[in-house]
Structure 1
């Protein structure tokens, strides 16, 4: 087993060595000051509102059996059924026997992980009090605008297990506390690492960057390849029909969920080749078909795309802003006509020293506004900044749509500032997060390898 210190070499309950049938790929874990934010985001997805709930199919009374043994603890068929019902209710998946059967292995995997995490936290004398769980539940209620104490009754009305929900919260809280208390001490960041990361950031400032979310479904055995592929395809179809991507990522993904409170921009050059090829074909907001990668199958959503900039955020520009206003009730033909006018204006925009365009200064009745603005790149929207960055002084942009109408921008002046090297503390936090991620993944993987895990379904 992967040991943190001498204390960790002595287990309270010796475990027979057994290679589990499931491999785990660790969750993205933030630094200590972000752990509670991660929990809040994680449980918010599970906050069950009347609008997002679909009634759970009533459970058929059946004999309770054992579906898995994890060291000296059992996971019962009732545990699996209660979690299944919670997943079906929070994700919007079609509650059919076929879907439930395909989800069973993935949900059981999560229950096994939670059991291992809770056992390890207990071994380090980490316990989560009822008051801590109560506080987490109240946070859910507050964020959803629900009266305090309303969630338990809501679970009861929808025939869902509040105990199962609380157990899920307890396991996540305990594991995050364990990571914060024990694993973080293994992470060291050298000054040379920070310098290399800063240099790379400066050199790669003009490459494409993306924000991604994903649901990861590992293939732990060759014989499970087709089952996981079928599950990935099924989830892709149901998300397209309205199932919640965020809830599925939280409940099912082996990465611990794609839901994050602080999205990170990643250079496409750093992506695995198969993932990059997939992302290159996606439009912003779109979800990929299942992608076979090293850990298993992934569903990848493109949340954002931008070009990294060599221009400093503090660089200042003076712009001549031309707006051709458009009424909210305008028809498609009117929009097309206005766009043609905007293209004509772009050919004769006038100069930066005159208030008009094409020699015209009185726009009464034409719904054209000309305004001079001075701003910094840091204040520009992600849509506008690339347009301005590519302009030379006195050049004008192509027309683009805004909520107010069709707009053009002429660059009148730019005061450049040398690109700033990323701050040392920010780089340190980024490296810390990455290394803690690896420590968490490695530790959980070794827990599985040393544990006695007997899957019985």
Structure 2
């Protein structure tokens, strides 16, 4: 089984969402896809102009030598450079020469795929009007709190262009409409199949589920060692924690989930490839593991959460809290900070329920903040375990730093999460249909790659 196909049938689908949101996500956290219009034109001038002409003489300084020609459509060096520049600025990263070379190769593959998608949509007579593209461009500008004019200037300053973003919009719209026209009508899910899934969910009640993000790097026998080395280098960058895992996934992953930051959704170990299942069963929430060799390449996985199927998760409980904060004066030394923190801890131990918090806070000069909507899972991991063990009216041990002072959380109430329930038949059917649309879309794209004539320059 191909890795990308296998995983895609198991992940939550995001296809079919509004193109504005898709483009915004791409621009906010990764590069903007850029291609150029088909360079072949009908000879309706009477001048006998070649379809793939070459200019001999002075060139436009903004047009560079083609990097690839895909079925007569040109991807220029400018397209690649603009995408790479946007990758860097979108991720607030300074690319080393090695990183830049790696990103250029990834970008070129993406641009080739996008060009093939646009070409295939044209064969199905999918038409995207200039007005639709402009409307989506204006919507993206608004999301960035910019007017369309300011957005154009912003893109130019960052080394991209209005044309690049509009081409991305056109590509998103064209491919989605192609799938609705040529794929979705032929996808069916039977009632018995839905019932079977519901039965399996019920049977799996209480088993572990994992919320995973993945970066998949495709490799073969010829480049396997190089891809493995790249994966190890990438893992080192991820572990520095300078940008979210999702940003790396959008930038580097070869899987179909790259557009959603590598999000595989909630999965059970039994539905994963054996290599990934073995790794995830030994991981803690927040841990990154890899590179893991799987069919077709290497994976880096990030465990963002864990729960049990159809079982109430204590970490979904909503807490009513009061936070006490004792701030230290400037120039407080370590000994003074320790003494004040100790006194603060003794005071919080003496609390007799939430009704005494304000009185105790006033006696030690602490501030009090109320919050009645905090979920346990939204707290730092160190505090989650403590909060789950507290009784109403009890306080956590002091925590904080010399610079920011010390704090304590007092538990005033807890609303436990309701037990998990089975999804409806319609929900299951909708998910299965979208998964199959996505799977067929990936298969179609592989066919297009295989049949394409691509000339690299």
Question: TM-score, normalised on structure 1?
Answer: 0.68
CA distance, structure 1, for counterparts of residue 127 and residue 431 of structure 2: 29
Aligned to 2:444: 443
Range moving further from structure 2, 395-404 or 286-295:
395-404
Gaps of at least 5 residues in structure 1 are 1-22, 49-60, 350-355, 369-374
Contact 2:310–2:421 at 8 Å: present in 1 too?
no
Aligned to 2:430: 429
Contact 2:393–2:410 at 8 Å: present in 1 too?
no
CA distance, structure 1, for counterparts of residue 265 and residue 213 of structure 2: 10
1:440 aligned counterpart, secondary structure: helix
State the Cα distance separating 1:122 from its structure 2 match.
Answer: 0.6
Range moving further from structure 2, 113-122 or 186-195:
186-195
State the Cα distance separating 1:179 from its structure 2 match.
Answer: 1.8
CA distance, structure 2, for counterparts of residue 288 and residue 106 of structure 1: 22
- How far does the alpha carbon of each residue in 1:244-265 deviate from its partner, in whole angstroms, 9 at most, with x for none? 6444433443234252699832
Aligned to 1:353: none
Tell whether 2:14 aligns with 1:30: yes
Contact 2:29–2:91 at 8 Å: present in 1 too?
no
State the Cα distance separating 1:399 from its structure 2 match.
Answer: 5.7
How many residues end up aligned between the 2 structures?
Answer: 396
Aligned to 2:25: 41
Tell whether 2:229 aligns with 1:230: yes
State the Cα distance separating 1:181 from its structure 2 match.
Answer: 2.8
CA distance, structure 2, for counterparts of residue 402 and residue 253 of structure 1: 38
Aligned to 2:166: 166
Change (3 A) 1:77 1:397: same
Contact 2:395–2:409 at 8 Å: present in 1 too?
no
2:443 aligned counterpart, secondary structure: helix
Gaps of at least 5 residues in structure 2 are 33-60, 330-336, 363-371, 401-406
CA distance, structure 1, for counterparts of residue 296 and residue 87 of structure 2: 23
CA distance, structure 2, for counterparts of residue 93 and residue 293 of structure 1: 29
Change (3 A) 1:62 1:141: closer
CA distance, structure 2, for counterparts of residue 361 and residue 94 of structure 1: 52
Higher helix share: 2
Aligned to 1:255: 255
Aligned to 2:36: none
Range moving further from structure 2, 173-182 or 29-38:
29-38
State the Cα distance separating 1:117 from its structure 2 match.
Answer: 0.4
CA distance, structure 2, for counterparts of residue 283 and residue 127 of structure 1: 48
Change (3 A) 1:327 1:397: closer
CA distance, structure 1, for counterparts of residue 19 and residue 66 of structure 2: 33
Question: TM-score, normalised on structure 2?
Answer: 0.68
User: Which structure exhibits the higher relative contact order, with contacts defined as CA atoms closer than 8 Å and separated by 6 or more residues?
Assistant: 1
